[in-house]
Structures are given as C-alpha cells and as structure tokens.
Amino acid sequence: MKPNVSLAGGHILVYLHLLLLAVHITAYKPLSDSFLKLIPDAGADLDINNDKGLLAPILIPRVSGTQGALKTQEHFVNFFKKELPKWTIEWHNSTSKTPVSGNKEVPFANLIFKREPPWVKPGQSNLLTLVAHYDSKYTPEGFIGATDSAAPCAMLMHVARSIDKYVTQMHDEMADLGEGGTVAMDMGVQILLLDGEEAFVRWTDEDSLYGSR
C-alpha cells in the first residue's frame, strides 16, 4: 500500500513506466528489501495532528449519507481541484435502502479522479487503478475507521500529488517521440475513492458494498 513516491525523478519515471507496462504482463512482482527501504514516509501529509494535511481532516465518522461523508467528499474534491487541476473528477452517485434506513434511500457517492494523456480519445487509455473506500462503519457510534480506510484514502491522495509531475513528464516525452494514440501506449492513472463499502448491521450480500459493489 505504501507508495514509492519521492525517489529521484529519473527513478520514479522509470518505475512508473515499468509499473504501467507490467500491468499487462504480470500483476505482482517481488520488491527487494533495498528497494523497499527507499520508500519515504509521507511526512506532514499523514500527520494525524496536521489539520492542513491529507489525513487529519477525514479522521471523523464518515457514515454514508451523513455530514461526515459530505465533508470527506469535499476534502477530496477540493484537494484535486486546487492541487491537481490536470486530474478529471467524476461522481458516480446512487441510492439504496439499508437495514437501518428502512424505506428511506441513503445516498452513496463514488469519486473517480483520473489522469490520462492529454490527447487520449474517450475510453482509450489503460489505467493503473488505485482504490480505497472512504465510508466508515455505522457502529460503534463515533467510529472513525482510521485504517479502514481513512489512511489509505490519504495515502492515495499523497500518491497522486507525488506522481503527478512524473506522469506529466511521461506524457510530454511520449508526445515528443510521437508515441501514443493506441490503447497500449495511452497509459494513465485513476484513483477511486468509494462510498458505501461497510455493512450497516451485519455483512451479507445485501448489507455491504452499496457504492463500491
């Protein structure tokens, strides 16, 4: 889960290229200990006391359909709008009844942040997809789900910001070389932050995975 994010520029570009190419060939590759030791921590971004960071503002109850969920969505959207304007933002909203809402429909909102080559045709890019859910469990009251999954959401935001300039560099170099324009070459990244993963009462096929089904 921990991103390889602030290595020297050349390294990460090569890494990103390899990572994106590797997706076609094999899903998993062992990483060496020496490689893993180079992974830096995210510093102030993930400091739980840093209100201006990526994590602290979402260490709140985030039950689907509540104010906490809205605040969390706002935190994500504001971050991408302000800091990563080249990423597109898509909402996938739905509603469902839940065992605690009775006949009332609860709203769920998935967010998709996407960074594709600027020349891409709709639906043509192949995307490295990173996903976490942001809703927290309905019980116990006040539950903030720090590791499930506020921290992974904040890590993915940190990843997005850390790789953005390298994705830009990769796309610029491809444009210079006249590459791109095919599905295989048009590589990008998307981050899915999903709502409604948790069960409201007890995990069953019906009571779970509302937004993130």
Question: Hey, what amino acid is at 89?
Answer: I
Q: Would you say 211 and 135 are in contact if contact means Cβ atoms under 8 Å apart?
A: yes
Among 35, 91, 119, 203, binds ligand NAG (CB under 6 A): 91
Closer CB to ligand NAG, residue 107 or residue 152? 107
Closer CB to ligand NAG, residue 45 or residue 198? 198
Q: Which of residues 101-140 bind ligand NAG (CB under 6 A)?
A: 107, 109
**DSSP category for residue 6:** S
Q: How far is the CB of 28 from ligand NAG (least distance, A)?
A: 34
Residue carrying the six token digits 């260490």 = 59
What is the DSSP annotation of 151-179?
Answer: HHHHHHHHHHHHHHHHHHHHHHHHHHHT-
45: nearest Cα among 130, 158, 132: 158
Q: How far is the CB of 132 from ligand NAG (least distance, A)?
A: 17
Question: According to the binding rule CB under 6 A, does residue 78 interact with ligand NAG?
Answer: no
Among 93, 129, 139, 168, binds ligand NAG (CB under 6 A): 93
Q: Would you say 113 and 98 are in contact if contact means Cβ atoms under 8 Å apart?
A: no
Sign, CA dihedral 172-9-48-199, equals positive
Exposed e or buried b per residue across 157-168, where buried means at least 16 C-beta atoms within 10 angstroms of its C-beta: bbbbbbbbebbe
Q: How far is the CB of 205 from ligand NAG (least distance, A)?
A: 25
Q: How far is the CB of 87 from ligand NAG (least distance, A)?
A: 16
Closer CB to ligand NAG, residue 162 or residue 190? 190
- Binding-site string for ligand NAG from residue 27 to residue 66, where x marks contact by CB under 6 A and - marks none: ----------------------------------------
Q: Which residues bind ligand NAG (CB under 6 A)?
A: 70, 73, 91, 93, 107, 109
